[in-house]
Structure 1
Amino acid sequence: MSFQRTRMSADRTLMSVIRTSLSLISFGFTIFQLFLKLAQAKVLVEGGGAARGFGVSLVLLGIAMLVCGIGFHVAFMRGLRKERSEMAAEGLIHAQSAFPVSLTLLVALAMLLIGLFAIGDMVIGFGPVA
């Protein structure tokens, strides 16, 4: 049971990374879009570049945080699986319970893809035409 609790703890940690990354990505994208629309409406003539750069920086920070969180989670889970296998081989635990791929990891990968699309739209402009 301790391996399952440790696994769930690692999933909770990744969920908090996802939550923080999502906040950074969405807030950065919103700032970028707000100042882009204000410039297109000719409400702002100058000065929107710094705010748009700040929005891009927030999205990049969110993506970097998500990549680091995913990397840490994968490395931790590999180590946990290895330790569990070694303990099962030595007969210290039964290790009959399933140890599937984390659904949280799949959500984190989906969020990473969304973040990459967001930064691609912000920097290159390959998103849908309004």
Structure 2
Amino acid sequence: MSDPNDKAVAKKNELARPKRLPETPVPPIPKIDETSELASTQYSAYRTGLSNHRTGLSEHRTSLSEYRTDLSTHRTDLSTDRTDMSMRRTGMSFQRTRMSAERTLMSVIRTSLSLIGFGFTIYQVFEKLRDAGTITHAGAPLNFGITLVILGIIMLTVGILYHLQFMMGLRHERNAMRAAGLIYGESHFPPSVTLITAVILLVIGLFVIVSMVFQIGPFG
């Protein structure tokens, strides 16, 4: 595989600017005796000198034009490379946005898990104290525990719905940009393990609240 640096050096050498053309004065107008038979020959020689001078200038202008053409081609190549890099950066931005959404859902999971776990713990502690006869009135703490669990379930449900809506919009936008040729879209969106975990936690939370309210199930 060729080194990109070698290509850059070779390209730079190809774009060497033509050397400055040394200034050559225009051939002076000769003093010709128009009555002489050699006048026409001398004028022809003078015109030939002017033509040679113009030819040298034209060749230099041609070299400069070729140099400008090479510069334009080089700029076009650079623009193409920049466009390619921009497309890849945009594709990577979609992946970063997806990971940001995953982290947001993780935060919702942590908060919901704390609410559900703390509420369930409060409920169990005061229920055991009431059953043991240590306290007689445990309605308020039990209701508080149930409220925390319900709040955790609601928060988790809203987080899952928001995540699904956001990811569907992100996928739609990504597919539209890929169809328009604005990004490559070579990398795929893998299944969201965070979303699967959130759904499992939601199911567990529903089992917990049903067990707490109706005293049935594995958590009753």
Q: Is the 8 A contact 2:160 2:195 kept in 1?
A: yes
User: TM-score by structure 1 length?
Assistant: 0.96
Structure 1 stretches lacking a partner, 5+ long = none
Work out the CA distance in 1 between the residues paired with 2:168 and 2:162: 10
* Deviation by residue 1:42-99 (Cα, 9 ceiling, x = unmatched): 00012x1010000000000000000000000000000000000000000000111111
- Paired positions, count: 129
* Deviation by residue 1:79-128 (Cα, 9 ceiling, x = unmatched): 00000000000000011111122110000001101100110110011124
Of the candidates 17, 25, 30, which is equivalent to residue 116 of structure 2?
Answer: 25
Please name the residue that 1:34 is paired with.
Answer: 125
- State the Cα RMSD in Å: 1.2
Work out the CA distance in 2 between the residues paired with 1:129 and 1:3: 41
Please name the residue that 2:23 is paired with.
Answer: none
User: TM-score by structure 2 length?
Assistant: 0.57
Work out the CA distance in 2 between the residues paired with 1:84 and 1:50: 50
Work out the CA distance in 1 between the residues paired with 2:218 and 2:144: 22
Please name the residue that 2:97 is paired with.
Answer: 6
Of the candidates 141, 150, 156, which is equivalent to residue 60 of structure 1?
Answer: 150
Moved over 3 A (4+): none
Work out the CA distance in 2 between the residues paired with 1:84 and 1:128: 44
Work out the CA distance in 2 between the residues paired with 1:42 and 1:5: 55
Q: Is the 8 A contact 2:126 2:141 kept in 1?
A: yes
Structure 2 stretches lacking a partner, 5+ long = 1-91
Task: State the secondary structure of the residue aligned to 1:79.
Answer: helix
Work out the CA distance in 1 between the residues paired with 2:219 and 2:111: 29
Work out the CA distance in 2 between the residues paired with 1:129 and 1:28: 13
